[in-house]
């Protein structure tokens, strides 16, 4: 397990109880593999996205953001190859009518010893027969043949039936960055190498069980494409592997919970590819991907759109289609990793148990909670709250014993609790309790601001 006390059931229960993540469309009985972020969860997820954007756009020497449309000209998906090859090998269990991915069945059956990525559909079918791979749901052994299943969600546009055209909900954000390559280059006057980043929704008609927010049919991706000259690509690929890993370590992940997984089987256009895997409660799984995509994407878009996408080198006038190093990470999959890594069920002296989310203060929904020790201190506490909330996301709570209020904040990962007590009325100082150590220090109001600014910096 990723840490000693976390299980998926405990995370799901905590998220639901504390307004982090709710089942999607819950009052209608839910909808498989969809989840809604609640008041605390939306803040945490926004902070994760902000930290990523800060690192890969704001602090990058030469990277620029875009926010492209989800619905794109369907020719985009022909050029990218998604209409023909964005497929999963599915099998149905005839006994319990559940649907499965043949590659996942083989991987689970062989406990990772066999790599189904290297097998054709016929080879997978033969393996399942030969090794008698049974249905993980009902235990039966009565499979339909493998059929390929396109993961793109289709919809249509147009007001009358005759004018209807099939279009797709994008299955990845990357194509929005590729089709805007020249727009961004021209308007920023960026010179190669440079990057284009985007955070946005993507949709995949996933047929396998989700493992909470690990695999959903609607999710957010954070993608960064680095455009460079052929010949420099391998060094940049190595650099992005390290940058992707460093970002996770800086967020507070333990190095032993992360590992690189280099791909044996590469997509036909890819020169090198790897994932970073995280030790989730259900085991090692892909958290993000880094790919050397060569000049495949821009060449294909040049061919299918008929528009020249060559870069002209301002120094020597040479024209070329750049290579692309892609770094892609799911915001929701990262959120699940952040929650798993942060979760602790801690037994305190005296036997009390508290649940704590120990994540980086930059990720916390609220940087501090303002708590009057007693109700009659509320006016002063509200004054402190009003001053602080203009500068930081902070929360006010006067309901229940101080111990219970501390526990509520621990459970949503609020890093600091600011308590207004009788001494506050005398000398305008407050106590600040640290979520992780539970130690307290006294500070004046000026002191709180610089204290919080320093602690939440990422």
Cα–Cα distances in Å, from 3 out to 12, 64, 213, 435, 445?
Answer: 16, 36, 18, 18, 37
Whole-angstrom distance, CA of residue 205 vs CA of residue 153: 6
Should residue 92 be labelled a site residue for ligand ATP when binding is judged by CB under 6 A? no
The percent helix, strand, coil of the chain (3-state, each to 5) is: 35, 25, 35
Whole-angstrom distance, CA of residue 48 vs CA of residue 65: 16
Taking the least distance from each CB to ligand ATP, the nearer of 43 and 275 is: 275
With contact defined as beta carbons under 8 Å apart, do 22 and 36 qualify? yes
Tell me the three state secondary structure of residue 417: strand
Spell out, one character per residue from 160 to 179, where the chain touches ligand ATP: x when CB under 6 A holds, - when not.
------------x-------
How far apart are CB 50 and ligand ATP at their closest, in Å? Answer: 18
Residue with the two structure tokens 């805007």 = 180
Helices 8-17, 331-342: crossing angle, 10 deg rounding: 100
Cα–Cα distances in Å, from 58 out to 61, 193, 197, 287, 346?
Answer: 8, 16, 11, 23, 37
Size of the site for ligand ATP (CB under 6 A): 16
Taking the least distance from each CB to ligand ATP, the nearer of 220 and 410 is: 220
Segment lying near ligand ATP (by CB under 6 A), choices 47-55, 99-107, 211-219, 345-353:
211-219
Should residue 345 be labelled a site residue for ligand ATP when binding is judged by CB under 6 A? no
Burial class from Cβ neighbours inside 10 Å (0-12, 13-18, 19+) for residue 450 reads: exposed
Should residue 63 be labelled a site residue for ligand ATP when binding is judged by CB under 6 A? no
How far apart are CB 223 and ligand ATP at their closest, in Å? Answer: 7
Segment lying near ligand ATP (by CB under 6 A), choices 89-97, 237-245, 330-338, 342-350:
330-338
With contact defined as beta carbons under 8 Å apart, do 325 and 240 qualify? yes
With contact defined as beta carbons under 8 Å apart, do 212 and 8 qualify? yes
Whole-angstrom distance, CA of residue 342 vs CA of residue 362: 13
Taking the least distance from each CB to ligand ATP, the nearer of 242 and 376 is: 242
How far apart are CB 353 and ligand ATP at their closest, in Å? Answer: 32
Should residue 216 be labelled a site residue for ligand ATP when binding is judged by CB under 6 A? yes
Should residue 329 be labelled a site residue for ligand ATP when binding is judged by CB under 6 A? yes
Should residue 247 be labelled a site residue for ligand ATP when binding is judged by CB under 6 A? no
- Which of 116, 176, 281, 289 binds ligand ATP (CB under 6 A)? It is 289
Should residue 360 be labelled a site residue for ligand ATP when binding is judged by CB under 6 A? no
- Which of 175, 294, 328, 409 binds ligand ATP (CB under 6 A)? It is 328
Should residue 37 be labelled a site residue for ligand ATP when binding is judged by CB under 6 A? no
Segment lying near ligand ATP (by CB under 6 A), choices 23-31, 66-74, 111-119, 322-330:
322-330
> Which residue has the closest beta carbon to ligand ATP?
330
- Which of 215, 241, 360, 433 binds ligand ATP (CB under 6 A)? It is 215
With contact defined as beta carbons under 8 Å apart, do 91 and 146 qualify? yes
Spell out, one character per residue from 116 to 155, where the chain touches ligand ATP: x when CB under 6 A holds, - when not.
----------------------------------------
Taking the least distance from each CB to ligand ATP, the nearer of 215 and 433 is: 215
How far apart are CB 306 and ligand ATP at their closest, in Å? Answer: 27
Whole-angstrom distance, CA of residue 210 vs CA of residue 373: 43
Should residue 206 be labelled a site residue for ligand ATP when binding is judged by CB under 6 A? yes
With contact defined as beta carbons under 8 Å apart, do 245 and 276 qualify? yes
How far apart are CB 367 and ligand ATP at their closest, in Å? Answer: 27
Residue 360: DSSP 8-state = -
Should residue 344 be labelled a site residue for ligand ATP when binding is judged by CB under 6 A? no
Helices 445-456, 378-389: crossing angle, 10 deg rounding: 50
Segment lying near ligand ATP (by CB under 6 A), choices 35-43, 214-222, 313-321, 389-397:
214-222
Residue 373: DSSP 8-state = S
Applying CB under 6 A, the residues found at the interface with ligand ATP are 172, 204, 206, 215-216, 219, 221, 286-289, 328-330, 332-333
């Amino acid at each position: 397990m990723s840490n000693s006390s976390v299980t998926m059931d405990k995370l799901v229960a905590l998220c639901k109880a504390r307004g982090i993540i709710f089942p999607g469309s819950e009052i209608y009985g839910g909808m498989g593999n969809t989840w809604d972020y609640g008041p605390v969860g939306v803040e945490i997820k926004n902070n994760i996205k902000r930290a990523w954007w800060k690192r890969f756009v704001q602090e990058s020497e030469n990277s620029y953001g875009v926010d492209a449309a989800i619905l794109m000209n369907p020719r985009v998906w022909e050029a990218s190859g998604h209409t023909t090859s964005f497929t999963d090998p599915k099998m149905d269990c005839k006994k319990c009518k559940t649907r499965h991915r043949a590659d996942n069945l083989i991987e689970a059956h062989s406990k990772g010893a066999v790599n189904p990525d290297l097998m054709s559909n016929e080879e997978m079918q033969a393996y399942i027969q030969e090794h008698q791979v049974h249905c993980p749901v009902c235990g039966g052994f009565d499979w339909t043949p493998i059929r390929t299943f396109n993961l793109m969600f289709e919809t249509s546009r147009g007001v009358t039936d005759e004018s209807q055209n099939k279009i797709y909900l994008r299955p990845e954000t990357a194509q929005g960055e590729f089709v805007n390559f020249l727009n961004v280059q021209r308007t920023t006057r960026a010179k190669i190498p440079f990057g284009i980043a985007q955070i946005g929704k993507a949709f995949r008609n996933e047929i396998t069980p989700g493992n909470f927010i690990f695999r959903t049919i609607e999710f957010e991706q954070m993608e960064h494409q680095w455009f460079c000259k052929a010949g420099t690509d391998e060094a940049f690929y190595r650099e992005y592997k390290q940058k992707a890993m460093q970002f996770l370590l800086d967020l507070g992940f333990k190095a032993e919970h992360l590992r690189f997984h280099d791909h044996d089987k590469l997509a036909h256009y890819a020169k090198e590819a790897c994932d970073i895997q995280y030790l989730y409660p259900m085991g090692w799984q892909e958290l993000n991907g880094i790919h050397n995509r060569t000049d495949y994407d821009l060449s294909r878009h040049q061919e299918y759109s008929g528009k020249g996408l060559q870069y002209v080198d301002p120094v020597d006038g040479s024209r070329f289609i750049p290579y692309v190093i892609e770094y892609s990470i799911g915001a929701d999959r990262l959120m699940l990793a952040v929650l798993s890594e942060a979760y602790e069920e801690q037994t305190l002296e005296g036997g009390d148990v508290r649940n704590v989310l120990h994540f980086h203060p930059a990720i916390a929904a609220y940087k501090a909670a303002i708590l009057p020790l007693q109700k009659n201190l509320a006016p002063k506490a509200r004054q402190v709250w009003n001053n602080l909330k203009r500068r930081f996301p902070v929360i006010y709570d006067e309901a229940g014993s101080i111990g219970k209020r501390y526990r509520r904040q621990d459970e949503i990962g609020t890093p600091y609790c600011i308590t207004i007590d009788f001494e506050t009325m005398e000398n305008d100082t407050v106590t600040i309790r640290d979520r992780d150590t539970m130690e307290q220090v006294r500070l004046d109001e000026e002191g709180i601001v610089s204290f919080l600014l320093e602690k939440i910096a990422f």
